[in-house]
A = this chain, B = another copy of it.
Amino acid sequence: MPSPIVITNNIRKLRFFANEMTQQELAEKAGASRQTIIAIEAGKYSPSLEMAFRIADAFGVSITEVFAHEVKEK
């Protein structure tokens, strides 16, 4: 049984730091749909590694500055 993992993100904070970037703008920069940004930002599901890199690139930061994870010990 894989120990479940909880992935968190600070997309919201990063958007505000980045001159109040809107979800729409982020979506365009990251090459994703707005729905995808909403869902990931809200933590509804975790992105693919590719999408994670794209989002980090959109902000010009490392992927580790956008996403963090905790291991839920069994």
**A7-B71 CB under 8 A given contacts A31-B1, A63-B64:** no
* In the complex, chain B residues whose CB is within 8 Å of the CB of A50: 5, 7, 46, 69
- Are A49 and B62 in contact (CB-based, < 8 A)? no
Q: State the main secondary structure of chain A at its contact with B.
A: mixed
A53:B69 contact, CB within 8 angstroms:
yes
CB distance A7 to B49 under 8 Å?
yes
Complex: A51 Cα to B2 Cα, angstroms: 10
A30 to B32, CA, bound (A): 28
Q: Which A residues have a C-beta under 8 Å from some C-beta of B? A: 1-3, 5, 7, 30-32, 46-54, 57, 62-64, 67, 69, 71
